[in-house]
Amino acid sequence: MAYRTTTCVLLDCDVCGYTLDEEHEGEEHYATEADALKYARQRNWSQLADGRVVCDDDRHAALLAADAATRFETALEA
């Protein structure tokens, strides 16, 4: 029997630790970080201005609103 080792990417919410798509058939594994982030965005996850990734849980609404305000203020200053 041949064994092979591979590397994959899992994406967790930086706020609550929820793993992307774990509610379906287990954790999703991605070939690259870009692939994981692309799929996360399709599932309504967000990437904050500071780089953190946040799931679509309603409990994160205040954080997302604060991030949007920060981005708006930064754009006004530019």
pLDDT digits (tens, 9 = 90+) for 9-62: 999 999 999 998 766 667 778 999 999 999 999 999 999 999 999 999 999 999
User: Does any domain span residue 26?
Assistant: yes
Q: Name the residue among 59, 62, 33 with its Cα closest to residue 12.
A: 33
User: Does any domain span residue 3?
Assistant: no
Q: Name the residue among 30, 25, 34 with its Cα closest to residue 9.
A: 30
User: Does any domain span residue 21?
Assistant: yes
Query: CA-to-CA distance for 48 and 34, rounded, in angstroms?
Result: 15
pLDDT at 5: 81
User: Does any domain span residue 32?
Assistant: yes
* Containing structural domain, residue 78: 8-78
Q: Name the residue among 61, 53, 68, 62 with its Cα closest to residue 10.
A: 53
User: Does any domain span residue 2?
Assistant: no
Specify the amino acid at residue 51. G
Q: Contact at 8 Å (CB) between 7 and 31?
A: no
User: Does any domain span residue 1?
Assistant: no
**How many independent structural domains does the chain possess?**
1
Q: Which residues are CB-neighbours of 42 under 8 A, at least 6 positions away?
A: none
